[in-house]
Structure 1
């Protein structure tokens, strides 16, 4: 059986543009070393059928996971940053995030040219409110639920991304009982939002 999606989603996916893979080494399960700045936190946000939330910027077609840079109000907590960013970008409400590991950014493009860590987390997606622009950037993302393997493909992350996805799925299956093999239907969250149980 093929992947199911609407003609509108087909049009959107036809405009997807992948960012070049930065090649940051993935450090699964390793704590961020002392002295290495945690600059960003991004999350694999799972719904009960095993799909994850991805964001598509309709202006340029770039796909991303919810997340972003730590701000002073996050007090250095990547989980707090993820919850805040997911709320701003996708109007998402998440359960307590679980740390998966980090990407080591030697060049530090997000940190003024100094090396930094880009944390990856997993969390349960409890719901999403009415669609709205991100207050920080003005971007109005389209919110798609996709199987984790397809998310890796849309993100353009290759084998390192697949390793991340597998780590995230293992946590989600153990913690929230999501199926290891996700529903493969691609679904856009309604503009009015949606709750998950």
Structure 2
């Protein structure tokens, strides 16, 4: 087994990671969202050229997330537009065209006022990130880590369903972005000043 490399500072950050309880929303890989089921959220597996994905760590509470969030009026009902906007706001990220992976069926509708809804998952190339700054919507100032997709599932605490999502994301990234099926295992924090990933 390969040794996972990371700095002492990242070790300290990861030592404070706290996982949200698993919601148990059924994962519908490759299925279109049914007509009449509103899409309320869009989250993305954003890939670097070496197969790692962007994860966001809130240093205040240790919660790890993928970039993404709720659809807003300005998104025009388009989950891809919502993901691009949210990635820019949360991680100062510029992404390629997102590819639809499937959706989670939220029967309880906690993101929709108690009415059922869909939470979409997408995959895209992480082209570049700008200088790190707080999310204008929440004020959270995330730490931006590149990690292998399997480790992302572990940090997110998504269990077997998360593994299925990660496999779908990796398959799409290998087929359409040319990333390797086996990602670099190094955990790396993106520089605060920003950087280019896909040229």
Superposition TM-score, scaled by structure 2 size: 0.99
SS class of match (1:159): helix
Shift of 1:193: 0.5
How do 1:17-166 and structure 2 match up within 5 A? 17-166=18-167
Match of 2:170 in 1: 169
Distance 1:196 1:169 in 2: 17
1:182 matches 2:183: yes
Q: In the TM superposition, what whole-angstrom CA distance separates every residue of 1:80-135 from its partner, at most 9, and x where no partner exists?
A: 00000000000000000000000000000011000000000000000000000000
Shift of 1:196: 1.1
Distance 2:39 2:31 in 1: 13
SS class of match (1:167): helix
Superposition TM-score, scaled by structure 1 size: 1.00
Shift of 1:41: 0.1
Distance 1:196 1:55 in 2: 17
SS class of match (1:191): coil
Shift of 1:32: 0.3
SS class of match (1:184): coil
SS class of match (1:144): strand
SS class of match (2:42): strand
Distance 2:59 2:113 in 1: 28
SS class of match (2:108): coil
Calculate the aligned-residue CA RMSD, in Å.
Answer: 0.4
SS class of match (1:160): helix
Distance 1:48 1:191 in 2: 19
SS class of match (1:44): strand
